[in-house]
Amino acid sequence: MSDRWREKYYDKCEELNKAESAMEFTEQWYAERIRRVDDLIRDEAPQLRDRYCAILANGTAEVGEPATYAQQLNTARYLRQQAEGELELFARIVRDVAEALGQDKNQTTHDLGDKVRRLRQELDALKGHNDGSQSEET
């Protein structure tokens, strides 16, 4: 390894160590403050504990509260990714069907039907996975 590359390598290692240290400090900083607020609520205002926990876990204390901009943005990103996945699968189905029709004149429609059914099952599995609960990052 040349001196120039060795120097870059060590610089990147040092940068990584600093970033990891900063991340650890930040996690500890927030954890300590959350613990203190948790202790305060437990001791001073236990009636607020359920709402406090809901806010920490879900970003909101009320079920009917409208989604924040960040939650709406994450939902839109999630839906876009799922639509792109479905579009890619549809494109693959079209390519496979076109290829199967154009390639082998002896291929039976049964073989082609099996391939289409398999691809539809993949699509249904993808849709079933998408219909499940999605996590929203705030």
What is the structure's pLDDT at 134?
46
d(C-alpha 103, C-alpha 107), whole Å: 9
For 95-127, what is each residue's pLDDT tens digit?
777 777 766 555 555 666 777 778 778 777 777
For 26-62, what is each residue's pLDDT tens digit?
999 989 998 998 899 889 888 888 888 888 877 777 7
CA distances from 100 to 30, 87, 92, 104, 122 (A): 58, 20, 12, 6, 18
For residues 15-28, average pLDDT: 91
Map out the domains of the chain as residue ranges. Answer: 1-65, 66-138
For residues 64-79, average pLDDT: 84
Angle between helices 69-103 and 109-131 (to 10 degrees): 170
What's this model's pTM, rounded to 2 decimal places?
A: 0.37
CA atoms within 13 A on the CB side of 92: 13
